[in-house]
Structure 1
């Protein structure tokens, strides 16, 4: 039948759907490559995705493979992916049916040897240096004699004991230790947090703020010291406001914190020596300076004393200094009588000449001239006084008119003010009479007081035989309280009120029944 013309050839192979074929390939690849170690260079890494997963590629000179790190695994990785880093990726090979491609699901990352670590550190150093974190102008000189020294290191290692011993030998200072792990996954974050924690201490707070920081660790392998090359540690060291001394490893060990620190020490012991001076040397230097100062002052005083003596010997004697003035005095004494006679003659001549100018006729002429001048000035003064008096009269007239106008306006205002105050006074008087207890007594009530004049408000306050005073509207009477059950005293005969032709004067305001 197959040889008939026009017949379609058939096959006994089954048909696969795309999903079936992709699933079969996935199972084959995962069974064959369940756990692999792949060495390559990280490429295309741009940080974790918004979902938390990380996607990149591993490549070498001839091939490339896609890689993925799931969110839960990424947080546990000891070595975080970085662009260009050569690593050994440990995981499993699987396929992604959506793209018909295969990929490695990474579960762990390791450095591909010491060369990879050095390449990573060189790349990180180049990138941080480009940001200016290692610039020399950022570095500061530690204080000569700090009051408080902060140390970031492990509290159980030999490093802290060496630092404390060296500080005690050179110059004992107050030391604050911030304990951290000095290797492992948490080393970098703990050291960065310690540096920032010391900087966050307030000045003058309950915990003293260090004046200098020492970040120290003993020697170790390149992998052991990686925590001190962490980017967070380098940035914290560069941002520190407190001068920082780096003392990580031995002199041949180099970490990135050494470039960001203000000072690099070859060993932790050397860092302690850089932090404080030697107390004994300072004391010796101060004593030497004191001795030099005392000697200089002594020598200066002796030299000035010697100079003063030499100058004293050069001064002339008192007789020599007074010889010329004494001779001048003698000459002046000899010339004085003649000078007095000549002076008296000159004054006598001046008096004679002045006498000629004081004749009666000349004096009369001078007096006449002064009188004419006085009359002229008096006339001017009289005119000025008349003008001033006229101006003052006009000013007084205007002031009088203004005063009369103000008086005319003031009288109605005062009258209205008096009327208003009188009205208010009458209203207050009416209110006082309404509130006075006299009005209540006039309506038939009575006010009972005890012997001291205090009002009695209740019957239980009255004892038998107690003297009382009862006030009515028209006067007061004295009474004595009877015992319980006693007959009341007879009432006095009623008297008709007498009308008085004159009005009694008003009593002054009294307290009301509601006042105590």
Structure 2
């Protein structure tokens, strides 16, 4: 066996001092230099990516930024959602949700790590949407928001009925027609979006707005209404702000959302 410290072996594996032979086209790079080159390469090559994975370790910092990891059965990638983006997310991220994140890969040279800067976050299919619904339902139920004793008795002869719905859909026409036929009442309409971005906020604000009216002008009963649709179409009525506004309402509320088989929170 050759002596590992013999002159013969050292000449083949490199000497004690680094040598710079004339014409050497591979000079050593500093750690910062190689990290910088990797950062530029990663950000140029992966400036727009979509990644599907399960959320893990989600945390919202005091700054408003959100930190998480996306994982599958073989790998994990870190992610960050800056505060401005986090405020615009259409749902509240939670561990265990299957999502598709759109953004760009970047590196953190100080630790030689890479991550995805998330610019948008979507649920990965209807199964993930139902998973989110069940998580939210369980969390709100644990707070007692669906307890039977919270439900208010409906007035037998409401003088004024407040309706929270779209002013242009068929629903408001149906409500006015049925009331005219069966029980003529004074109706106050609070027009809102009933689908898409901003709908949940408008519905919650309308319920609270009716409740804030002076007692003599306040409706005796509220109807929150929209027509049928897919679970995605009806999602505004599953969002936490709407549930909390109705749970806190000083006015009894009737849900007229969707068809008979549709159920929302």
Structure 1 residue corresponding to 2:172, chosen from 160, 163, 175: 160
Match of 2:35 in 1: 22
Match of 2:186 in 1: 174
Instruction: List aligned pairs for 1:267-346, cutoff 5 A.
Output: none
Give CA-to-partner distance per residue, 1:151-190, whole Å, 9 cap, x none: 0001111100100010000011000111110011201111
Partner Cα separation in structure 1 for residue 149 and residue 85 of structure 2: 41
TM-score, normalized by length of structure 2? 0.89
SS at match of 2:139: helix
Partner Cα separation in structure 1 for residue 149 and residue 96 of structure 2: 31
Structure 2 residue corresponding to 1:34, chosen from 44, 47, 51: 47
Match of 2:214 in 1: 202
1:187 aligns with 2:199: yes
Question: Relative CO higher for 1 or 2, CA cutoff 8 Å, sep ≥ 6?
Answer: 2
Partner Cα separation in structure 2 for residue 128 and residue 98 of structure 1: 42
Structure 2 residue corresponding to 1:46, chosen from 36, 53, 59: 59
Q: How far 1:99 moved relative to its partner?
A: 2.0
Q: How far 1:83 moved relative to its partner?
A: 3.0
Instruction: List aligned pairs for 1:500-515, cutoff 5 A.
Output: none
TM-score, normalized by length of structure 1? 0.47
Q: How far 1:224 moved relative to its partner?
A: 1.4
Structure 1 residue corresponding to 2:88, chosen from 76, 84, 87: 76
Match of 1:100 in 2: 112
Give CA-to-partner distance per residue, 1:53-80, whole Å, 9 cap, x none: 2111111222211111122322333344
SS at match of 2:247: helix
Partner Cα separation in structure 2 for residue 61 and residue 222 of structure 1: 29
**Greater fraction strand:** 2
SS at match of 2:157: coil
SS at match of 1:213: strand
Instruction: List aligned pairs for 1:111-510, cutoff 5 A.
Output: 111-204=123-216, 208-256=217-265
Match of 2:79 in 1: 67
- Unaligned stretches of 5+ in structure 1? 257-516
Cα RMSD, aligned residues only? 1.8
Q: What is the aligned length? A: 250
| Residues 41 and 209 of structure 1: CA distance in aligned 2, closer, same or farther (over 3 Å) | same
Q: How far 1:88 moved relative to its partner?
A: 0.6
Could you say which structure has the larger radius of gyration?
A: 1
SS at match of 1:46: strand
Partner Cα separation in structure 1 for residue 236 and residue 163 of structure 2: 17
Match of 2:4 in 1: none
SS at match of 1:62: coil
| Residues 124 and 79 of structure 1: CA distance in aligned 2, closer, same or farther (over 3 Å) | closer
- Unaligned stretches of 5+ in structure 2? 1-6
SS at match of 1:137: helix
Q: How far 1:5 moved relative to its partner?
A: 10
| Structure 1 residue ranges, 4+ long, deviating more than 6 angstroms after superposition | 3-7
Match of 1:365 in 2: none
Partner Cα separation in structure 1 for residue 73 and residue 251 of structure 2: 47
| Residues 50 and 6 of structure 1: CA distance in aligned 2, closer, same or farther (over 3 Å) | closer
Match of 1:510 in 2: none
Q: How far 1:16 moved relative to its partner?
A: 0.9
SS at match of 1:84: coil
Give CA-to-partner distance per residue, 1:191-247, whole Å, 9 cap, x none: 11111111111212xxx2111110001111211111111101111111112111011
